[in-house]
Structure 1
């Protein structure tokens, strides 16, 4: 049995030395990984079954030297991971994390604070409160606002819309939908490009997916005139629109709803406005791109994922609510063994009462460290760089005879199709199948990594340029590689 002590319980000094020696070696290896990232394939050609077989082993009953285990991590885990730090990674909305965010994440694990209650996280609670205030200030929320960090946009959307439900139907948390006559008629208005988690929220609330009512779009964005008509129509049907969920940075195309005009409609109709800004709220930090989220400060609640466009490690999500009283009412369980105000406090500082999660990491430290070290302007520059690179890709696609951009990009997401001359006149289903096969072979090649979506019923290639180090040379490499693989498919 491998153990440094007979009873397998290490002293604090032994733990410290183990952390020091293994930690230094790991940091060196991680730094080498980043320095040589472009020499790696971006992805793996292996199937799920092949990778599963690699880890098919019984529960270890005896330990082994740490060096052996870490060598296996690099050989078996890192080798066939998706390398989001590679500039040829242009896939889902997962960021290459900033170096000091990675280091802060390690400190988070070391301290292991529980963010549910202040007494278990006295300094961490206050750091999170300050980070929340910074985010609220960035989008223009008033002093009455509050929020909390959560696991991501799905929980942020759920929390914001639970606050909306309780604001419109007081007592719903206690009485439930079935016993609250008005709430039985509740509906949620969304556009067709809203994230799936918004509809999931309706299901979790007990409203059912039929309570999610679509609003007409214009050029992929929610149409304010259609929103006003939809509110009037559903009210005429005896239903109660308790909230509108608008989007700042849609998943498929990265487009932004006209938030200011939507806020006008919601204000006039007396309807809660929630903004899913998981991807796009970060643009509030950029002077040149802030116009994309103009009006976001008029929302009643906002979801924001710093682990997307603020380049934090997962998970770092946030929900912000304009009036803290509605966030306090979103969850009303009694837990005197956990939550209670302390002498001199007019409001309990226990963050767990504002969120679905009880066990929650000190994720705010990553953002707090990085905002202080890099400064908000640095984040703005990174955001602007990814958007500029996306605009460059759009120009390349528009100039090419064999590519077709699906839309003009507003941020760092762009959809397009590869249409070589040999596809001309082919049935739509063949052209769509070609896009899917092209993406599959390209990703398996390790050259790069992109995604696929469906727009207007047609399969379309999709990229999200999350890495500020992605440059024109990488864009050219992607387009040339897709051409090469496309020729192979058509020849076969």
Structure 2
């Protein structure tokens, strides 16, 4: 009978089954990366776990559930393993997963106070707590949660556009009265979500003004004004400048304070994409990396990165509360109240894209309520310190080249084995990609790659406090081993390393 699926006792027993498996998963500190399974093979395995019943709901099958959970855990990136060094999402504080579990069961969408009362209050509390770290006084600024940094960046850029061009929301581009085509100034290394947002907004990638970077991969403030002047001569009207606090490629922090001077001088909206690096604000030792952030008009902050909560949990801040109403200018009688009161004052539905939104703030607030900021600050400081140690280890190895000094927990480097001393850039690029792919296929470590100066580099993101310097050395040994295989294979079959086709 279908009602059996809603039985509270069944809920308890299935929760115990799942919890036991997750406990075992968290306790496993073996070094494992990613077990890639062919999609067709995985689809067959998944279909084999599906009940053949179609006309009535069958009795609960505990073995089937256990097999589903096992498959789910085994085929994902092992974010809690010391072998996981490849991406910017993290293993979560386990308690945050428990709170997320509660949110899934009680199912309280949080865009409107009446649907999710505590999430909306918690959002205001965390806004005050984190806003003080930014440098703002309570009462003047605003924060909304969004499902991911990409959506937060889009929302902030909509606010900037609608403020500068009030008629754009209702009249579209035809309503724009400006001395040039609307444009956004960004660092040459800006996250792709900003370029995507420009496309969504009808501005277009061609109207992104790419600002030059310095040797540390940060926006070079000395060359920003000439770039803006050149854009104006080309018929572009820049209304917003986007800075990064922790770029995706190398974790660089743009000089926000100097860029804020330029933004004020040129009457530009200053948005800071701090999806990765804004979390350094919780650390007294690291907060200086974001010097000047209090002068930004808006800030994106992903808690599911360096605050170690389940994704998505993104915070979008506005220095002036009134500006948080700028992105979306519309009315809908079925959700927006005609007579605001003390309850609807906490609604965020008019400030964010989502109507039905997960109460994502609950995972962050619960951890903050129980542990305070020290939990986050201590782990972030540890990871940044570990990354500096990893940099030292790489620098000490003659067959590795570190490509930057890490500002946070991202490190990029290349392997140049003795046999590859004569490789040109194209072959060196291919070797790094080959190394990354072979490391992934071995399944011990999971790392990523990024192009720096048009040549591929190996990239590690240290998100797991279980990683030690010994694991870093083990990774370098693994890289050496797969590089030898790659070079030996190329020498044996005569395939040049510049060949970008699939390996046999």
TM-score range (shorter-chain normalised) is: over 0.9
1:51-450 matches, within 5 Å, as 51-56=42-47, 60=52, 61=54, 62-63=57-58, 65-142=60-137, 143-182=139-178, 185-219=181-215, 220-340=217-337, 342=339, 344-345=341-342, 348-450=345-447
Q: CA deviation at 1:463?
A: 0.6
Q: Does 1:9 align with 2:6?
A: no
Residues 277-307 of structure 1: CA deviation (Å, up to 9, x unaligned):
0000000111111111111111000011000
Q: CA deviation at 1:164?
A: 0.7
- Look up the SS of the partner of 2:311 in the other structure: coil
Question: Residues 45 and 445 of structure 1 are in contact (CA less than 8 Å); yes or no, is this contact kept in structure 2?
Answer: no
1:477-488 matches, within 5 Å, as 477-488=474-485
Corresponding residue for residue 501 of structure 2: none
Question: Residues 186 and 208 of structure 2 are in contact (CA less than 8 Å); yes or no, is this contact kept in structure 1?
Answer: yes
**TM-score, normalized by length of structure 1?**
0.94
Question: Residues 184 and 207 of structure 1 are in contact (CA less than 8 Å); yes or no, is this contact kept in structure 2?
Answer: no
Corresponding residue for residue 3 of structure 1: none
Cα separation, 2, equivalents of 1:279 and 1:54: 36
Cα separation, 1, equivalents of 2:84 and 2:112: 39
- Look up the SS of the partner of 2:151 in the other structure: helix
Bigger Cα displacement from structure 2, 477-486 vs 99-108: 477-486
> How many residues are paired up?
483
Corresponding residue for residue 492 of structure 2: none
Bigger Cα displacement from structure 2, 52-61 vs 243-252: 52-61
- Look up the SS of the partner of 1:73 in the other structure: helix
- Look up the SS of the partner of 1:38 in the other structure: coil
Q: CA RMSD in A?
A: 1.9
Q: CA deviation at 1:184?
A: 6.6
Cα separation, 1, equivalents of 2:431 and 2:462: 23
| Superposed structure 1 runs of 4+ greater than 3 Å apart | 56-60, 235-238, 341-348
**TM-score, normalized by length of structure 2?**
0.92
Corresponding residue for residue 35 of structure 1: 27
- Look up the SS of the partner of 2:241 in the other structure: strand
Cα separation, 1, equivalents of 2:337 and 2:222: 46
Cα separation, 2, equivalents of 1:348 and 1:184: 38
Residues 4-34 of structure 1: CA deviation (Å, up to 9, x unaligned):
xx4x2249xx622112122122212211111
Q: CA deviation at 1:183?
A: 8.8
Cα separation, 1, equivalents of 2:416 and 2:255: 32
Cα separation, 2, equivalents of 1:233 and 1:165: 21
Residues 127 and 45 (structure 1), Cα distance of their counterparts in 2 relative to 1, 3 Å cut? closer
Residues 342-365 of structure 1: CA deviation (Å, up to 9, x unaligned):
564497432111111111111110
